[in-house]
Amino acid sequence: MKTFFRCAAVLLALLMLSGCVKPDVDPPESTPPTDPSTPSEPSHPTEPTKVGFHMEDGKTYYYLRDGSFITGKVAIGDHTYYFDDSGVMQTGWVTLNETTLYFKPDGRMAVGQVEIDGRNRFFTEDGQEVTVVNPWNALPEDYDPDLISFGEPYGNENSRVSRVCFEALKQMIDDCNKECPRVYVISSYRSVDYQKGLFENRIQRFQNEGYSREDAERLAAAVVARPGTSEHHLGLAVDIIDTRSWELTEIQETLPAQQWLMENSWRYGFILRYPKGTTESTGIIYEPWHYRYLGVELATAVYESGMTLEQYFESISN
């Protein structure tokens, strides 16, 4: 009997191999023939052809992965750009929410020191322009100091400063007087014409000492700003003294009120503008009495950096 079953199994196997008998399983579903005119479905979604910066008809856009473009003021990487409502990247001067910003030819918002039309301009990290006046950057012809007068007990009856810093200046002097009485504004806003008189007087003094006109002018420029290059033209700079000495000399740095101002002026938006040992950077000799208003945010940043105003703007330039 066993021999019979073995023979039957061998015979069945031979028949299957020959195709006469098929296995008892369902055949796989048939695959329809491919129509070469019908595109095949991709195995994964396709990426948009335009992602990031893209130029069309001379205009620059920034596309997202979903195919839409960016509008408005936006940070991309380490820089800030502005795209109008049609998505076009803007350059040049743009006013947003009453603040005027400058976007460089490559679209980046200006930060730090930037040359525009042959003139150095200075911008904070959020793009707001700050007017810097020094021996290399004269007062802009269209600058308006928007002055307001003040007198005793803060300064003499002819004292004037910009409205922008008026309240902060009064508060700083009031607080200083509580701790170290006898603080006084000895000089504030100066017109260009007034500065001309100061500069010529200093030249004359050097000429009286035997210097040539050329040398006298060079020496005068080291201690008195040339007309048009004095921060006092801005209405944002003041010379403040401790009246234990009425002289504008380095003795001021030793007096209590001056020391208080050096330590605390930044809290009110002012900085000591010409610190010791910074003449190469500022172009002005050490003046431990000259304070410049920048606003609390910028004054704090400059103070904490330990730099001069010029060095600070250079350090944040993009």
- Catalytic positions: 287
SS3 content of the chain, % helix, strand, coil (to 5): 35, 25, 45
Q: Are 48 and 66 in contact (CB under 8 A)?
A: yes
Buried b (16+ CB within 10 A) or exposed e, 16-55: eeeeeeeeeeeeeeeeeeeeeeeeeeeeeeeeeeeeeeee
62 contact partners, CB below 8 Å, separation of at least 6: 52, 53, 54, 69, 70, 74, 76, 81, 83, 87, 89
Note whether 235 and 159 are within 8 A (CB).
no
Question: What residues form DSSP beta bridges with 116?
Answer: 119
Classify each residue of 253-287 as buried b or exposed e, where b means 16 or more C-beta atoms within 10 Å of its C-beta.
bebebbebbbeebbebbbbbbbbeebeebbbbebb
Contact between 225 and 274 (Cβ < 8 Å): no
Closest C-alpha among 285, 292, 284 to residue 135: 284
Cβ 103 vs Cβ 82: under 8 Å = yes
Going by C-alpha positions, the residue among 316, 92, 80, 130 that lies closest to residue 234 is: 130
Is residue 109 within 8 A of residue 103, CB to CB? The reply is yes
DSSP run (H or E) holding 232 = none
